[in-house]
Structure 1
Amino acid sequence: MAEEKDKKQSSRRRNNRRTEKESEWQERVVQIRRVTKVVKGGKKLSFRAIVIVGNERGQVGVGVGKASDVIGAVRKGVADGKKHLVNVPLTRDQSIPHPSTGEGGAAQVLIRPAAPGTGVIAGGAVRTVLELAGVKNVLAKRLGSKSPLNNARAALEALSSLRTFQEVAQSRDIPVEQLY
Protein backbone atom coordinates (compact mmCIF):
# COMPACT_ATOMS: atom_id res chain seq x y z
CA MET A 1 0.00 0.00 0.00
CA ALA A 2 2.85 2.35 0.73
CA GLU A 3 4.15 1.81 -2.79
CA GLU A 4 0.76 2.74 -4.27
CA LYS A 5 0.71 5.98 -2.27
CA ASP A 6 4.23 6.82 -3.46
CA LYS A 7 3.21 6.18 -7.07
CA LYS A 8 0.14 8.40 -6.72
CA GLN A 9 2.17 11.19 -5.13
CA SER A 10 4.88 11.00 -7.78
CA SER A 11 2.29 11.09 -10.56
CA ARG A 12 0.68 14.14 -8.92
CA ARG A 13 4.07 15.84 -8.78
CA ARG A 14 4.61 15.12 -12.46
CA ASN A 15 1.20 16.55 -13.30
CA ASN A 16 1.96 19.68 -11.25
CA ARG A 17 5.25 20.12 -13.12
CA ARG A 18 3.43 19.83 -16.43
CA THR A 19 0.92 22.50 -15.47
CA GLU A 20 3.72 24.77 -14.22
CA LYS A 21 5.56 24.41 -17.53
CA GLU A 22 2.41 24.97 -19.53
CA SER A 23 1.35 27.98 -17.45
CA GLU A 24 4.73 29.60 -18.13
CA TRP A 25 3.60 30.18 -21.73
CA GLN A 26 0.89 32.61 -22.61
CA GLU A 27 -1.01 32.27 -25.84
CA ARG A 28 -3.14 34.82 -27.61
CA VAL A 29 -5.29 34.18 -30.63
CA VAL A 30 -4.84 37.01 -33.13
CA GLN A 31 -7.24 35.84 -35.80
CA ILE A 32 -9.62 33.00 -36.56
CA ARG A 33 -10.74 32.68 -40.16
CA ARG A 34 -13.23 30.37 -41.77
CA VAL A 35 -11.64 28.98 -44.91
CA THR A 36 -13.04 26.67 -47.56
CA LYS A 37 -11.61 24.18 -49.98
CA VAL A 38 -13.56 23.20 -53.07
CA VAL A 39 -13.76 19.43 -53.40
CA LYS A 40 -15.71 17.07 -55.64
CA GLY A 41 -18.77 17.05 -53.39
CA GLY A 42 -18.86 20.80 -52.73
CA LYS A 43 -17.02 23.04 -50.29
CA LYS A 44 -15.11 21.71 -47.29
CA LEU A 45 -15.15 24.16 -44.38
CA SER A 46 -12.22 24.53 -41.96
CA PHE A 47 -10.80 27.13 -39.56
CA ARG A 48 -7.41 28.83 -39.57
CA ALA A 49 -6.11 30.26 -36.31
CA ILE A 50 -3.14 32.60 -35.92
CA VAL A 51 -1.73 32.22 -32.41
CA ILE A 52 1.12 34.04 -30.71
CA VAL A 53 2.90 32.21 -27.89
CA GLY A 54 5.31 33.84 -25.44
CA ASN A 55 6.64 33.68 -21.90
CA GLU A 56 7.16 37.44 -21.37
CA ARG A 57 10.81 36.72 -20.60
CA GLY A 58 12.33 37.07 -24.03
CA GLN A 59 10.83 34.17 -25.97
CA VAL A 60 8.01 34.49 -28.48
CA GLY A 61 6.68 32.57 -31.47
CA VAL A 62 3.96 32.84 -34.10
CA GLY A 63 2.00 29.78 -35.14
CA VAL A 64 -0.72 28.94 -37.62
CA GLY A 65 -3.11 26.05 -37.18
CA LYS A 66 -5.83 24.75 -39.43
CA ALA A 67 -8.51 22.25 -38.47
CA SER A 68 -12.17 21.45 -38.96
CA ASP A 69 -12.99 22.98 -35.57
CA VAL A 70 -11.78 26.15 -33.85
CA ILE A 71 -10.34 24.43 -30.77
CA GLY A 72 -8.27 22.06 -32.89
CA ALA A 73 -6.99 24.95 -35.00
CA VAL A 74 -5.94 26.90 -31.91
CA ARG A 75 -4.24 23.83 -30.43
CA LYS A 76 -2.28 23.29 -33.66
CA GLY A 77 -1.41 26.99 -33.76
CA VAL A 78 0.02 26.85 -30.24
CA ALA A 79 2.11 23.80 -31.12
CA ASP A 80 3.36 25.54 -34.28
CA GLY A 81 4.17 28.70 -32.32
CA LYS A 82 6.25 26.74 -29.82
CA LYS A 83 8.20 25.21 -32.72
CA HIS A 84 9.07 28.66 -34.10
CA LEU A 85 10.30 30.41 -30.96
CA VAL A 86 12.66 33.38 -31.14
CA ASN A 87 14.89 34.64 -28.31
CA VAL A 88 14.66 38.40 -27.80
CA PRO A 89 17.49 40.25 -26.04
CA LEU A 90 16.00 42.67 -23.51
CA THR A 91 17.72 45.62 -21.85
CA ARG A 92 17.46 46.56 -18.17
CA ASP A 93 14.60 48.91 -19.05
CA GLN A 94 12.64 46.03 -20.62
CA SER A 95 13.25 47.51 -24.06
CA ILE A 96 15.22 46.39 -27.10
CA PRO A 97 18.93 47.17 -27.62
CA HIS A 98 18.65 48.98 -30.98
CA PRO A 99 16.20 49.83 -33.79
CA SER A 100 15.32 47.03 -36.17
CA THR A 101 13.14 46.27 -39.17
CA GLY A 102 11.57 43.07 -40.35
CA GLU A 103 9.65 41.88 -43.38
CA GLY A 104 6.99 39.23 -43.69
CA GLY A 105 5.33 38.98 -47.07
CA ALA A 106 4.33 42.51 -48.07
CA ALA A 107 4.38 43.72 -44.46
CA GLN A 108 7.22 45.70 -42.95
CA VAL A 109 7.60 46.43 -39.26
CA LEU A 110 9.92 49.03 -37.75
CA ILE A 111 10.67 48.74 -34.03
CA ARG A 112 12.65 51.23 -31.95
CA PRO A 113 13.69 51.25 -28.29
CA ALA A 114 11.86 53.70 -26.05
CA ALA A 115 12.49 55.42 -22.72
CA PRO A 116 11.29 53.77 -19.51
CA GLY A 117 7.62 54.46 -18.87
CA THR A 118 6.71 54.77 -22.54
CA GLY A 119 4.93 51.44 -22.79
CA VAL A 120 4.27 49.44 -25.92
CA ILE A 121 3.27 51.78 -28.70
CA ALA A 122 2.22 49.44 -31.48
CA GLY A 123 -0.95 48.13 -33.01
CA GLY A 124 -2.56 44.84 -33.88
CA ALA A 125 -0.53 41.68 -34.10
CA VAL A 126 2.76 43.57 -33.66
CA ARG A 127 1.64 44.75 -30.22
CA THR A 128 0.72 41.22 -29.19
CA VAL A 129 4.10 39.87 -30.32
CA LEU A 130 5.98 42.57 -28.40
CA GLU A 131 3.91 42.14 -25.23
CA LEU A 132 4.33 38.36 -25.18
CA ALA A 133 8.06 38.76 -25.81
CA GLY A 134 8.28 40.74 -22.57
CA VAL A 135 9.15 44.10 -24.13
CA LYS A 136 7.68 46.88 -21.98
CA ASN A 137 9.04 50.06 -23.64
CA VAL A 138 9.09 50.13 -27.43
CA LEU A 139 7.84 52.09 -30.42
CA ALA A 140 6.67 50.18 -33.48
CA LYS A 141 5.32 51.13 -36.88
CA ARG A 142 3.57 48.84 -39.31
CA LEU A 143 4.26 49.57 -42.97
CA GLY A 144 2.74 47.95 -46.02
CA SER A 145 0.31 45.09 -45.58
CA LYS A 146 -2.36 45.02 -42.89
CA SER A 147 -2.46 41.21 -42.73
CA PRO A 148 -2.14 40.06 -39.10
CA LEU A 149 -0.10 36.98 -40.04
CA ASN A 150 2.40 38.89 -42.18
CA ASN A 151 2.70 41.64 -39.56
CA ALA A 152 3.30 39.11 -36.78
CA ARG A 153 5.95 37.35 -38.87
CA ALA A 154 7.58 40.68 -39.73
CA ALA A 155 7.69 41.63 -36.04
CA LEU A 156 9.20 38.24 -35.24
CA GLU A 157 11.87 38.74 -37.90
CA ALA A 158 12.67 42.20 -36.54
CA LEU A 159 13.03 40.77 -33.03
CA SER A 160 15.17 37.87 -34.22
CA SER A 161 17.62 40.25 -35.92
CA LEU A 162 18.35 42.06 -32.63
CA ARG A 163 21.83 41.68 -31.19
CA THR A 164 23.09 42.40 -27.69
CA PHE A 165 25.91 44.84 -26.99
CA GLN A 166 28.12 41.90 -26.00
CA GLU A 167 27.54 40.17 -29.35
CA VAL A 168 28.36 43.34 -31.29
CA ALA A 169 31.51 43.98 -29.25
CA GLN A 170 32.63 40.38 -29.71
CA SER A 171 32.08 40.49 -33.49
CA ARG A 172 34.11 43.72 -33.70
CA ASP A 173 36.82 42.43 -31.33
CA ILE A 174 36.54 45.44 -29.03
CA PRO A 175 35.52 45.79 -25.38
CA VAL A 176 31.89 46.63 -24.60
CA GLU A 177 32.88 49.96 -23.00
CA GLN A 178 34.23 51.16 -26.34
CA LEU A 179 30.81 50.79 -28.00
CA TYR A 180 29.37 53.72 -26.09
Structure 2
Amino acid sequence: MAREHGRDRDDRDSEFTDKLVHINRVAKVVKGGRRFGFAALVVVGDQKGRVGFGHGKAREVPEAIRKATDAAKRGLIRVPLREGRTLHHDVAGRHGAGKVYLRAAPAGTGIIAGGPMRAVFETLGMQDVVAKSIGSSNPYNMVRATFDALKHQDSPRSVAARRNIKVSSLQSRRREGADDQAASE
Protein backbone atom coordinates (compact mmCIF):
# COMPACT_ATOMS: atom_id res chain seq x y z
CA MET A 1 0.00 0.00 0.00
CA ALA A 2 2.79 2.42 0.89
CA ARG A 3 4.49 1.71 -2.43
CA GLU A 4 1.41 2.63 -4.45
CA HIS A 5 1.11 5.92 -2.58
CA GLY A 6 4.75 6.74 -3.35
CA ARG A 7 4.26 5.92 -7.03
CA ASP A 8 1.22 8.24 -7.20
CA ARG A 9 3.34 11.03 -5.79
CA ASP A 10 6.02 10.41 -8.42
CA ASP A 11 3.37 10.56 -11.16
CA ARG A 12 2.06 13.83 -9.76
CA ASP A 13 5.60 15.26 -9.53
CA SER A 14 6.37 14.30 -13.14
CA GLU A 15 3.60 16.59 -14.44
CA PHE A 16 5.61 19.62 -13.27
CA THR A 17 8.50 21.23 -15.10
CA ASP A 18 11.08 23.10 -13.09
CA LYS A 19 13.60 25.74 -14.06
CA LEU A 20 16.62 26.77 -12.06
CA VAL A 21 16.65 30.57 -12.07
CA HIS A 22 19.63 31.43 -9.88
CA ILE A 23 22.28 29.87 -7.64
CA ASN A 24 24.08 31.96 -5.05
CA ARG A 25 27.31 30.82 -3.41
CA VAL A 26 28.20 32.21 -0.02
CA ALA A 27 31.40 31.63 1.94
CA LYS A 28 31.80 31.50 5.70
CA VAL A 29 35.39 32.01 6.78
CA VAL A 30 36.43 29.61 9.55
CA LYS A 31 39.72 28.69 11.16
CA GLY A 32 40.55 26.04 8.55
CA GLY A 33 39.59 28.13 5.51
CA ARG A 34 36.23 28.75 3.88
CA ARG A 35 32.96 26.85 4.16
CA PHE A 36 30.74 27.25 1.12
CA GLY A 37 26.97 27.21 1.15
CA PHE A 38 24.57 27.43 -1.78
CA ALA A 39 21.17 29.03 -2.20
CA ALA A 40 18.94 28.11 -5.17
CA LEU A 41 15.92 29.85 -6.66
CA VAL A 42 13.66 27.48 -8.63
CA VAL A 43 10.40 28.03 -10.53
CA VAL A 44 8.00 25.09 -10.95
CA GLY A 45 4.87 24.88 -13.12
CA ASP A 46 2.56 22.46 -14.90
CA GLN A 47 2.44 24.53 -18.16
CA LYS A 48 -1.36 24.67 -17.80
CA GLY A 49 -1.76 27.73 -15.60
CA ARG A 50 -0.20 26.73 -12.27
CA VAL A 51 3.17 28.05 -11.16
CA GLY A 52 5.20 28.46 -7.98
CA PHE A 53 8.68 29.48 -6.87
CA GLY A 54 10.89 28.27 -4.06
CA HIS A 55 14.13 29.11 -2.32
CA GLY A 56 16.42 26.45 -0.83
CA LYS A 57 19.73 26.60 1.01
CA ALA A 58 22.22 23.79 1.62
CA ARG A 59 25.93 22.96 1.66
CA GLU A 60 25.62 21.12 -1.67
CA VAL A 61 24.05 22.42 -4.90
CA PRO A 62 21.77 19.41 -5.64
CA GLU A 63 20.36 19.48 -2.12
CA ALA A 64 19.66 23.23 -2.36
CA ILE A 65 17.87 22.69 -5.69
CA ARG A 66 15.80 19.82 -4.23
CA LYS A 67 14.75 21.96 -1.24
CA ALA A 68 13.84 24.86 -3.52
CA THR A 69 11.80 22.58 -5.81
CA ASP A 70 9.86 21.16 -2.84
CA ALA A 71 9.16 24.69 -1.56
CA ALA A 72 7.97 25.75 -5.03
CA LYS A 73 5.53 22.82 -5.25
CA ARG A 74 4.07 23.77 -1.85
CA GLY A 75 3.38 27.35 -2.97
CA LEU A 76 1.67 26.93 -6.34
CA ILE A 77 -0.76 29.59 -7.58
CA ARG A 78 -3.29 29.33 -10.41
CA VAL A 79 -3.19 32.03 -13.08
CA PRO A 80 -6.12 32.51 -15.49
CA LEU A 81 -4.91 32.59 -19.10
CA ARG A 82 -6.83 33.92 -22.11
CA GLU A 83 -7.13 31.17 -24.73
CA GLY A 84 -4.50 29.28 -22.70
CA ARG A 85 -1.70 31.42 -24.15
CA THR A 86 -1.64 35.01 -22.79
CA LEU A 87 -2.89 37.37 -20.07
CA HIS A 88 -6.43 38.73 -19.90
CA HIS A 89 -5.24 42.29 -19.23
CA ASP A 90 -2.08 44.34 -18.64
CA VAL A 91 -0.86 44.31 -15.06
CA ALA A 92 1.97 45.69 -12.92
CA GLY A 93 3.65 44.08 -9.94
CA ARG A 94 6.28 45.08 -7.44
CA HIS A 95 8.40 43.64 -4.67
CA GLY A 96 10.94 45.83 -2.93
CA ALA A 97 12.73 47.88 -5.57
CA GLY A 98 11.75 45.42 -8.33
CA LYS A 99 8.90 46.50 -10.58
CA VAL A 100 7.54 44.57 -13.55
CA TYR A 101 4.93 45.35 -16.21
CA LEU A 102 3.22 42.48 -17.99
CA ARG A 103 1.22 43.05 -21.18
CA ALA A 104 -1.10 40.72 -23.07
CA ALA A 105 0.14 40.05 -26.60
CA PRO A 106 -1.39 38.80 -29.86
CA ALA A 107 -0.82 35.23 -31.01
CA GLY A 108 2.65 34.58 -32.43
CA THR A 109 4.41 37.24 -30.34
CA GLY A 110 6.22 34.75 -28.12
CA ILE A 111 7.69 35.44 -24.69
CA ILE A 112 9.46 38.79 -24.68
CA ALA A 113 10.90 38.96 -21.17
CA GLY A 114 14.16 38.89 -19.23
CA GLY A 115 15.70 35.78 -17.65
CA PRO A 116 13.89 35.29 -14.31
CA MET A 117 10.52 36.41 -15.74
CA ARG A 118 10.96 34.20 -18.82
CA ALA A 119 11.41 31.15 -16.55
CA VAL A 120 8.12 31.95 -14.79
CA PHE A 121 6.20 32.34 -18.08
CA GLU A 122 7.66 29.16 -19.62
CA THR A 123 6.77 27.00 -16.62
CA LEU A 124 3.33 28.65 -16.45
CA GLY A 125 2.61 27.66 -20.05
CA MET A 126 2.17 31.19 -21.34
CA GLN A 127 3.09 31.56 -25.01
CA ASP A 128 2.56 35.26 -25.79
CA VAL A 129 3.50 38.04 -23.39
CA VAL A 130 5.52 41.23 -23.36
CA ALA A 131 7.18 42.03 -20.02
CA LYS A 132 9.41 44.82 -18.81
CA SER A 133 11.45 44.89 -15.62
CA ILE A 134 12.16 48.28 -14.06
CA GLY A 135 14.32 48.88 -11.02
CA SER A 136 16.01 45.96 -9.30
CA SER A 137 17.54 43.25 -11.49
CA ASN A 138 17.90 40.95 -8.46
CA PRO A 139 16.38 37.58 -9.56
CA TYR A 140 14.57 37.09 -6.23
CA ASN A 141 12.87 40.50 -6.43
CA MET A 142 12.03 40.05 -10.12
CA VAL A 143 10.39 36.65 -9.55
CA ARG A 144 8.46 37.92 -6.52
CA ALA A 145 7.31 41.03 -8.43
CA THR A 146 6.20 38.82 -11.34
CA PHE A 147 4.19 36.65 -8.95
CA ASP A 148 2.66 39.79 -7.40
CA ALA A 149 1.51 40.86 -10.87
CA LEU A 150 0.17 37.38 -11.73
CA LYS A 151 -1.84 37.28 -8.47
CA HIS A 152 -3.66 40.44 -9.58
CA GLN A 153 -4.67 38.86 -12.90
CA ASP A 154 -8.47 38.49 -13.22
CA SER A 155 -10.45 36.49 -15.75
CA PRO A 156 -13.80 37.75 -17.08
CA ARG A 157 -15.42 34.78 -15.33
CA SER A 158 -14.09 35.79 -11.89
CA VAL A 159 -15.09 39.46 -12.43
CA ALA A 160 -18.60 38.39 -13.48
CA ALA A 161 -18.87 36.12 -10.43
CA ARG A 162 -17.80 38.96 -8.13
CA ARG A 163 -20.45 41.26 -9.63
CA ASN A 164 -23.12 38.52 -9.73
CA ILE A 165 -23.70 38.93 -13.48
CA LYS A 166 -23.16 36.76 -16.55
CA VAL A 167 -19.93 36.90 -18.56
CA SER A 168 -21.87 37.81 -21.72
CA SER A 169 -23.42 40.88 -20.04
CA LEU A 170 -19.96 41.88 -18.79
CA GLN A 171 -18.61 41.80 -22.35
CA SER A 172 -21.62 43.74 -23.72
CA ARG A 173 -21.05 46.44 -21.06
CA ARG A 174 -17.42 46.62 -22.14
CA ARG A 175 -18.48 47.16 -25.78
CA GLU A 176 -21.00 49.84 -24.76
CA GLY A 177 -18.25 51.68 -22.86
CA ALA A 178 -16.02 51.60 -25.97
CA ASP A 179 -18.90 52.89 -28.16
CA ASP A 180 -19.61 55.72 -25.69
CA GLN A 181 -15.93 56.68 -25.66
CA ALA A 182 -15.73 56.67 -29.48
CA ALA A 183 -18.90 58.82 -29.72
CA SER A 184 -17.53 61.40 -27.27
CA GLU A 185 -14.39 61.91 -29.37
CA displacement, residues 106-150 of structure 1 (integer Å, 9 cap, x when unaligned): 111111111111111111100110111111111111111111111
Tell me how far apart the structure 2 counterparts of residues 132 and 152 of structure 1 sit (CA, whole Å): 13
Q: Could you tell me which residue of structure 2 aligns to residue 21 of structure 1? A: 12
Change (3 A) 1:173 1:14: closer
CA displacement, residues 23-59 of structure 1 (integer Å, 9 cap, x when unaligned): 1011111111111245677643200111111110111
CA-atom RMSD, angstroms?
2.0
Give identity over the alignment, percent: 40
Among 105, 108, 119, the alignment partner of 1:114 is 105
Q: Is 2:118 aligned against 1:89?
A: no
User: For residue 117 of structure 2, what is the amino acid of its counterpart?
Assistant: V
Secondary structure at 2:127's aligned position in 1? coil
- Listed as ranges, the matches of 1:62-141 within 5 Å are 62-141=53-132
Change (3 A) 1:174 1:83: same
Q: Could you tell me which residue of structure 2 aligns to residue 56 of structure 1? A: 47
Tell me how far apart the structure 2 counterparts of residues 55 and 84 of structure 1 sit (CA, whole Å): 13
Secondary structure at 2:101's aligned position in 1? strand
User: For residue 101 of structure 1, what is the amino acid of its counterpart?
Assistant: A
CA shift, 1:96, in A, is 1.1
TM-score by length of 1: 0.86
Tell me how far apart the structure 2 counterparts of residues 79 and 96 of structure 1 sit (CA, whole Å): 27
Secondary structure at 2:92's aligned position in 1? strand
**Structure 2: 5+ residue runs without aligned partners?**
172-185
**Structure 1: 5+ residue runs without aligned partners?**
1-6
Secondary structure at 2:14's aligned position in 1? helix
Q: Could you tell me which residue of structure 2 aligns to residue 171 of structure 1? A: 162
Tell me how far apart the structure 1 counterparts of residues 6 and 96 of structure 2 sit (CA, whole Å): 41
Secondary structure at 2:43's aligned position in 1? strand
Tell me how far apart the structure 1 counterparts of residues 84 and 104 of structure 2 sit (CA, whole Å): 10
Among 27, 30, 36, the alignment partner of 2:21 is 30
Q: Which moved further from structure 2: 48-57 or 170-179?
A: 170-179
Q: Does the CA contact (< 8 Å) of 1:93 and 1:137 recur in 2?
A: no
Tell me how far apart the structure 2 counterparts of residues 15 and 81 of structure 1 sit (CA, whole Å): 19
Q: Which moved further from structure 2: 99-108 or 38-47?
A: 38-47
Secondary structure at 1:110's aligned position in 2? strand
Q: Could you tell me which residue of structure 2 aligns to residue 150 of structure 1? A: 141
